[in-house]
Amino acid sequence: MNGWRRILSSVALVVLGSGCVLPQDIVRQRFTADTSCAEAQIAVKELPGSAYRADGCGLSATYVCTVEDGSTKACVRESAPQPSTVDAASNQAH
């Protein structure tokens, strides 16, 4: 991924994190930036401990989100996206 895309993704997270934004939305946007998978093809599932798994385009990644005062501040990917065992199209989460 080029440097500009990372910068724009980070700026978007700061802007989105400043309001009342759902962690699932930020995870979906981060996964799109990390994998070039279209948001419409991504399913996000809540896991224990403020973690979320994103599945789409044959890939899967886990993100841990920081929520403060009811607002999502940031979501950080735990590791590089891996091949997914979930069919995101049939498990679409909105």
- Cβ(55)–Cβ(42) under 8 Å? yes
90 assigned to some structural domain: no
How many domains in the chain?
Answer: 1
92 assigned to some structural domain: no
The 10s digit of each residue's pLDDT in 6-44 is 554 554 555 444 557 889 999 999 999 999 999 999 999
57 assigned to some structural domain: yes
CA distances from 31 to 24, 65, 69, 70 (A): 10, 13, 24, 22
CA angle 56, 22, 75 (to 5 degrees): 65
88 assigned to some structural domain: no
Mean pLDDT, the chain, whole residue set: 81
20 assigned to some structural domain: yes
What predicted TM-score, i.e. pTM, was given to this entire model?
A: 0.70
Neighbours of 63 (CB within 10 A): 24
The boundaries of the domain holding residue 40 are 3-83
The 10s digit of each residue's pLDDT in 48-60 is 989 999 999 999 9
